[in-house]
């Protein structure tokens, strides 16, 4: 595990973060494994922070990408029609949207998740003529100014350098440990014309908060939220950037709840191959943009469209992946519960849904030590949560049972090493 020469580090801004915890120089990756320059393998339970749901360099997608580049198809196409774009649109529509009863139109807002969120917020404001957005405690939606204003993390908010306005945070599901009826505060404020809450254009929500600490909202909470939005004429934006593309089981994380968001943000794993791509899906009646009113240079990175279409064909033709993810998720849950039971004095909390799983420790220090111990043992995973107190795993959905068990064993060992029992 060698770090790069000091020269290279000195060339880069101090804003870099992952390389501080994982000083290895990585060079190759297949499936759930990453190798550093010395050939040391790491089992990857991080998966590009959710951008690699189908693992690294999946062989079928690799064929597609090699073929795409080899045949000199368009790499960069903005919003011109291309063969790859048309194929993606048809595949996405036929295999993802229609079977789920969705008739949303697809906008290509730019290459990353923040673009999808920015476009969603802009459109919601344009449609409603209102400015305010309601977000939730511990939400994460991105680092550009609009996306950051609806993000909770105070370090990241502080980086804006200007007051972040137009957003009011409401308590996420279970924020008060069940002591308070859902949406009591939010609905009371909406129904009171003297509350001082600006009538929101939209609510933006994650069905499972990843960066916020692997907080999974209950299906009934999401349904109640969708209902609330309808009653108060507020658009519902579902940010499925990290939790979509099968992370929680179904393609969309909100399927289980049976709701239909007005606007859906997708990115991260949508290309299936870790390539920059994002979508903003909008209900047809909301699609009132002028041509070019929102645009962006890399909104048409077409190799990503090619792998995205193929990934859909490969993984979403039937429910095999969905059922596998649920089964693996249940397995992780039971293993985490064993750790919770093993260390009652530490009041660990198992969290999550599907293969978005977390184990909450009492302090950031403990969670960080466990991740460091796992790294020493060849497992990549990171922390999340407001204080980084949650050990978070987002393994490739395609990992084998053996890989899953190997990773869980390393987690057990790492927790034992840190909490002092074996």
Q: What part of residues 117-156 is at the interface with a second copy (CB under 8 A)?
A: 118, 121-126, 129, 131-132, 135-139, 142-147, 149-156
What is the rounded end-to-end Cα distance, in angstroms, of the chain? 26
Q: Is 232 in the site for a second copy (CB under 8 A)?
A: no
Tell me the C-alpha distance between 278 and 281, whole Å.
Answer: 10
Question: With respect to a second copy, which residue has the nearer C-beta, 52 or 234?
Answer: 52
Question: With respect to a second copy, which residue has the nearer C-beta, 70 or 318?
Answer: 70
Q: Which of 99, 157, 230, 317 binds a second copy (CB under 8 A)?
A: 157
The stretch near a second copy (CB under 8 A) out of 175-183, 324-332, 352-360, 391-399 is 175-183
Q: Which of 220, 227, 285, 293 binds a second copy (CB under 8 A)?
A: 293
State the alpha helices, DSSP H only, in 129-240: 145-149, 154-158, 184-191, 219-231
Question: With respect to a second copy, which residue has the nearer C-beta, 66 or 327?
Answer: 66
The one-character DSSP state at 197 is P
List the strands of the sheet with 382-384, edge to edge: 349-353, 356-360, 390-393, 382-384
CB atoms within 10 A of CB 355: 28
CB 268 within 8 A of CB 241: yes
Tell me the C-alpha distance between 142 and 109, whole Å.
Answer: 14
Q: Is 365 in the site for a second copy (CB under 8 A)?
A: no
Q: Which of 111, 246, 350, 352 binds a second copy (CB under 8 A)?
A: 111
The stretch near a second copy (CB under 8 A) out of 111-119, 254-262, 369-377, 412-420 is 111-119
Question: With respect to a second copy, which residue has the nearer C-beta, 251 or 339?
Answer: 251
What DSSP assignment string belongs to 304-363?
HHHHHHHHHHHHSSSSHHHHHHHHHHHHHHHHHHHHHHH-GGGT-EEEEETTEEEEE-SS
Tell me the C-alpha distance between 43 and 321, whole Å.
Answer: 20
Q: What angle do CA 268, 261, 52 make, to 5 degrees?
A: 15
Q: Which of 174, 256, 387, 416 binds a second copy (CB under 8 A)?
A: 387
- Per-residue binder mask for a second copy (CB under 8 A), 24-63, x = binder: xxxxxxx---x--x----------xxxxx---xx----x-
Tell me the C-alpha distance between 280 and 119, whole Å.
Answer: 7
Element (H, E) at 36: strand 33-36
CB 176 within 8 A of CB 164: no
- Per-residue binder mask for a second copy (CB under 8 A), 60-79, x = binder: --x--xx--xxxxxxxxxxx
Q: Which of 358, 385, 396, 407 binds a second copy (CB under 8 A)?
A: 385
Number of residues counted as binding a second copy (CB under 8 A) = 153
Strand partners, 44: 380
Q: Which of 38, 40, 198, 320 binds a second copy (CB under 8 A)?
A: 198
- Least distance in angstroms from the C-beta of 205 to a second copy: 13
Q: φ and ψ at 157, to 5 degrees?
A: -60, -40
Please list, in sequence order, all residues whose beta carbon lies within 8 angstroms of the beta carbon of residue 304, skipping any fewer than 6 positions away.
270, 271, 273, 275, 276, 277
Chain positions 258 to 277 lying near a second copy, rule: CB under 8 A, are: 267-268, 273-276
Q: Which two tokens stand for residue 199?
A: 């009538």
The stretch near a second copy (CB under 8 A) out of 191-199, 308-316, 348-356, 368-376 is 191-199
The stretch near a second copy (CB under 8 A) out of 224-232, 283-291, 317-325, 346-354 is 283-291
Q: Which of 54, 96, 173, 197 binds a second copy (CB under 8 A)?
A: 197
Tell me the C-alpha distance between 382 and 31, whole Å.
Answer: 19
Q: What angle do CA 228, 204, 216 make, to 5 degrees?
A: 85
Q: Is 115 in the site for a second copy (CB under 8 A)?
A: yes
Tell me the C-alpha distance between 210 and 212, whole Å.
Answer: 5
Q: Which of 221, 251, 301, 375 binds a second copy (CB under 8 A)?
A: 301
Q: Which of 40, 99, 180, 400 binds a second copy (CB under 8 A)?
A: 180
Question: With respect to a second copy, which residue has the nearer C-beta, 160 or 219?
Answer: 160
């Amino acid at each position: 595990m060698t770090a790069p020469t000091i020269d290279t580090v000195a060339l880069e801004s101090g804003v870099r973060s992952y390389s501080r915890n994982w000083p290895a120089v990585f060079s190759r990756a297949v499936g759930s494994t990453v190798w550093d320059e010395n050939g040391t393998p790491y089992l990857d339970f991080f998966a590009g922070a959710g951008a690699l749901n189908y693992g690294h360099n999946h062989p079928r997608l690799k064929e597609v990408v090699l073929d795409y580049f080899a045949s000199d198809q368009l790499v960069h196409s903005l919003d011109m029609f291309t063969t790859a774009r048309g194929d993606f649109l048809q595949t996405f529509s036929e295999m993802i949207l229609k079977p789920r009863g969705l008739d949303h139109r697809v906008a290509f807002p730019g290459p990353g998740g923040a673009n999808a969120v920015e476009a969603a917020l802009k459109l919601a404001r344009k449609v409603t003529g209102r400015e305010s957005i309601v977000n939730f405690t511990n939400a994460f939606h991105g680092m550009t100014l609009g996306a950051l204003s609806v993000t909770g993390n105070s370090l990241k908010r502080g980086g804006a350098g200007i007051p972040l306005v137009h957003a009011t945070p409401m308590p996420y599901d279970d924020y008060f440990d069940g002591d308070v009826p859902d949406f009591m505060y939010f609905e009371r404020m909406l129904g009171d014309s003297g509350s001082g809450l600006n009538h929101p254009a939209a609510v933006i929500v994650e069905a499972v908060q990843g960066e916020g600490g692997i907080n999974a909202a209950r299906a009934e909470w999401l349904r109640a939220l969708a209902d609330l939005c309808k009653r108060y004429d507020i658009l519902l934006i579902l940010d499925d950037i990290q939790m979509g593309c099968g992370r929680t089981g179904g393609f969309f994380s909100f399927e289980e709840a049976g709701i239909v968001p007005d606007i859906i943000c997708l990115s991260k794993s949508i290309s299936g191959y870790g390539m920059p791509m994002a979508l903003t899906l909008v209900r047809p009646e909301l699609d009132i943009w002028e041509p070019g009113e929102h645009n962006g240079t890399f909104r048409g990175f077409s190799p990503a469209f090619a792998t995205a279409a193929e990934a859909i064909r490969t993984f979403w033709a039937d429910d095999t992946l969905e059922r596998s993810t649920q089964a693996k998720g249940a397995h992780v849950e039971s293993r985490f519960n064993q750790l919770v039971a093993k260390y009652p004095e530490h009041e660990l909390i198992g969290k999550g849904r599907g293969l978005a799983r977390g184990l909450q420790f009492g302090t950031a220090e403990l969670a960080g030590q466990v991740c460091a111990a796992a790294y020493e043992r060849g497992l990549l995973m990171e922390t999340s949560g407001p204080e980084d107190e949650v050990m978070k795993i987002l393994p490739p959905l395609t990992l084998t049972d053996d890989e899953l068990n190997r990773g869980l064993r390393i987690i057990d060992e790492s927790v034992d090493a840190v909490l002092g029992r074996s």
